[in-house]
């Protein structure tokens, strides 16, 4: 079955034939709610006046199965997401069916990278460490409480929201929460999808439908950090990891090593709709190269292309093969659009692309993971956001030129706030 995905689905998720038969995304959500718990934090008191805190800091990302048993639920949600993979009116039926068909193959791949995705471990660590720093550099909004909300794996958005209630936020008590995307570069398929999900659950749990009021008093006040592609701390963290890998080459060869920045691809239909992601990824690459003083030749390439439709290229695997064939065997792959390891780095790059290159000069820069420079950058971005008092970036108020989604419109109006809702076009 061929279909078009607005964001690069890991190639390994899409290999194989589809069949009909599977569980619904809703039941998957419920199962995940039962098993997956949001980050546990001590209760907070919302009525502590005289301070702008406490502040809930919510990291949003796609997530990944922490164990092989979670793979089917993860895939079911992923294929049920029309923002990521538009399958039309039958999305909620077809998506889980495709997922079920692929589950055993993908389980093997997660087994090969250690039994599950490390993204939850890294996200919870990064968020908790960032909050500790924020308590010091932004005492007026302290204490900062860490939460993680994944789009396709535990802890899901609704689980995180219930945890906020349990910790004393919202439900009439108010309080402030910041939705901090962990996709540095904005795509409507990634950050946009996470915000659509957050908006949906906010409305269900404490919006108009929660108690019949138009805007119930004491709801959580949300703001959004929606993109940060060229933040100096992010750039520094990437640059340091590249420099560390460059040092593994003999000094006389070091400047000739080609840097291959690799990001998820997008179907050209999404690019042509006006998605901001390609331009923002390019901005990150340029900023990193500027920091490295353009000492090495470099290219940006795109991974995880699937299906027969046209995708943004050149593909990472083809790029590596082509350069190696030409005799350029010193290459460093740099995952530039994710903030921690996941299956696309640990399996697709390490066990497929680099393994197939079969050359010791082809290597990968470490992912940001526990980089203290990166975590400081997260804290700086969050502090600046809190101090500015902005609800979201101005860029968030502009929909893609080709967007016809009422959900995008409603979500953006909500997060832009009453003052700027009229600017959303």
Catalytic residues, by residue number, are 231, 380
The nearer residue to ligand FES, 82 or 146, going by C-beta atoms, is 82
Tokens 């080609």 label which residue? 258
* Strand 55-61, strand 176-181: pairing: parallel
Q: Does the footprint of ligand FES cover residue 120 (CB under 6 A)?
A: no
How far, rounded to the nearest angstrom, does the alpha carbon of residue 289 sit from its chain's CA centroid?
23
Window 179 to 198, contacts with ligand FES (CB under 6 A): 188, 192
Which of 268, 373, 400, 421 is in the footprint of ligand FES by CB under 6 A?
Answer: 400
Assign 241 to helix, strand or coil.
helix
102 binds ligand FES (CB under 6 A): no
Q: What is the nearest approach in angstroms of ligand FES to the Cβ of residue 381? A: 22
d(CA 190, CA 57): 19
User: Residues 33, 88, 408, 11: is their CA dihedral positive or negative?
Assistant: positive
Peptide bond into 338 cis (omega under 30): no
Binding-site string for ligand FES from residue 273 to residue 312, where x marks contact by CB under 6 A and - marks none: x-x-------------------------------------
Q: Which is nearer to ligand FES, 190 or 369 (CB)?
A: 190
Q: How far is the CB of 114 from ligand FES (least distance, A)?
A: 35
Q: Smallest distance, Å, CB 275 to ligand FES? A: 6
Region near ligand FES per CB under 6 A, out of 19-27, 364-372, 380-388, 398-406: 398-406
Closest by CA position to 20, among listed 96, 105, 102: 96
The footprint of ligand FES on this chain (CB under 6 A) covers a number of residues equal to 9
- Other beta carbons within 10 Å of 52: 13
Least gap, CB of 94 to ligand FES (angstroms):
21
Please choose, from the candidates 342, 335, 349, the residue with its C-alpha nearest in 3D space to the C-alpha of residue 120: 342
- Please state whether 339 falls in left (phi above 0), alpha (psi between -120 and 50) or beta: alpha
**Cβ at position 399, least distance to ligand FES in Å:** 4
Query: In this complex, which beta carbon is closest to ligand FES, that of residue 154 or of residue 424?
Result: 424
CB 263 within 8 A of CB 305: no
CA distances from 13 to 68, 103, 159, 187 (A): 14, 8, 25, 20
**Taking Cα atoms as reference points, which of 317, 321, 325 lies closest to residue 347?**
317
| Residue placing its CB nearer to ligand FES in the complex, 256 or 395 | 395
Own/partner long-range contacts of 77-83 (Cβ < 8 Å, ≥24 apart): 77/25, 77/28, 77/29, 77/32, 77/151, 77/152, 77/153, 78/9, 78/13, 78/152, 80/25, 81/151, 81/152, 81/193, 83/6, 83/188, 83/189, 83/192, 83/193, 83/196
Closest distance to ligand FES from the beta carbon of 405 (Å): 4
Q: Which is nearer to ligand FES, 319 or 411 (CB)?
A: 411
Q: Single out the residue of 32, 153, 408, 424 in contact with ligand FES (rule: CB under 6 A).
A: 408
Q: Is residue 396 at the binding interface for ligand FES, with CB under 6 A as the rule?
A: no
Which of 399, 414, 416, 424 contacts ligand FES by CB under 6 A? 399
Nearer to ligand FES, 151 or 342 (CB): 151
By the rule CB under 6 A, 224 interacts with ligand FES? no
- CA distances to 21, 191, 201, 269 from 205, rounded to whole Å, are 31, 21, 6, 34
The CB-of-87 to ligand FES minimum distance in angstroms stands at 16
Backbone φ and ψ of 202, nearest 5°: -65, -45
Candidate list 200, 405, 413, 421; residue touching ligand FES; CB under 6 A: 405
**Residue 25 or residue 408: which is nearer to ligand FES going by CB?**
408
Q: Which region, judged by CB under 6 A, interacts with ligand FES, from 109-117, 261-269, 327-335, 395-403? A: 395-403
Binding positions for ligand FES, rule: CB under 6 A? 188, 192, 273, 275, 399-400, 403, 405, 408
């Amino acid at each position: 079955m061929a279909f078009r995905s607005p964001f690069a689905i890991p190639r390994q998720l899409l290999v194989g034939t589809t069949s009909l038969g599977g569980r619904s995304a809703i039941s998957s959500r419920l199962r995940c709610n039962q098993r997956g718990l949001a980050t546990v934090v001590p209760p907070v008191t919302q009525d502590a006046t005289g301070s702008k805190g406490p502040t809930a800091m919510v990291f949003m990302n796609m997530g990944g199965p922490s164990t092989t048993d979670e793979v089917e639920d993860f895939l079911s949600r992923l294929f049920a997401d029309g923002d990521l993979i538009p399958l039309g009116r039958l999305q909620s039926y077809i998506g889980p069916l495709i997922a079920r068909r692929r589950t055993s193959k993908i389980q093997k791949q997660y087994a090969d990278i250690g039994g599950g995705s490390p993204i939850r471990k890294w996200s919870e660590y990064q968020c908790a460490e960032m909050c500790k720093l924020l308590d010091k550099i932004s005492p007026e909004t302290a204490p900062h409480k860490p939460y993680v909300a994944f789009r396709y794996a535990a802890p899901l958005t609704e689980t995180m929201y219930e945890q906020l209630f349990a910790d004393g936020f919202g439900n009439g008590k108010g309080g402030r929460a910041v939705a901090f995307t962990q996709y540095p570069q904005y795509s409507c398929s990634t950050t946009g999808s996470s915000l659509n999900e957050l908006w949906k659950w906010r409305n269900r749990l404490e919006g108009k439908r929660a108690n019949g009021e138009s805007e119930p008093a004491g709801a959580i006040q949300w703001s959004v950090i929606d993109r940060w592609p060229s933040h100096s701390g992010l750039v520094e963290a990437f640059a340091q990891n590249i420099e560390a890998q460059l040092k593994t080459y003999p000094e006389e060869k070091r400047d000739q090593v080609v840097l291959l920045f690799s990001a998820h691809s997008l179907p050209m239909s999404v690019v042509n709709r006006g998605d901001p992601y390609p331009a923002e990824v390019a901005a990150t690459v340029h900023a990193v190269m500027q920091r490295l003083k353009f000492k090495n030749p470099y290219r940006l390439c795109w991974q995880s292309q699937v299906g027969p439709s046209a995708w943004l290229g050149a593909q990472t695997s083809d790029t590596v093969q082509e350069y190696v064939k030409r005799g350029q065997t010193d290459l460093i792959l740099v995952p530039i659009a994710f903030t921690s390891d996941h299956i696309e780095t640990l399996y697709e790059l390490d066990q497929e692309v680099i393994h197939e290159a079969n050359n010791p000069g082809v290597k990968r820069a470490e992912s940001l993971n526990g980089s203290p420079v990166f975590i400081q950058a997260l804290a700086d971005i969050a502090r600046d956001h809190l101090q500015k008092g902005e609800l979201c970036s101005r860029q968030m108020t502009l929909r893609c030129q080709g967007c016809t989604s009422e959900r995008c419109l409603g979500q953006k109006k909500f997060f832009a706030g009453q003052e700027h809702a009229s600017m959303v076009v």
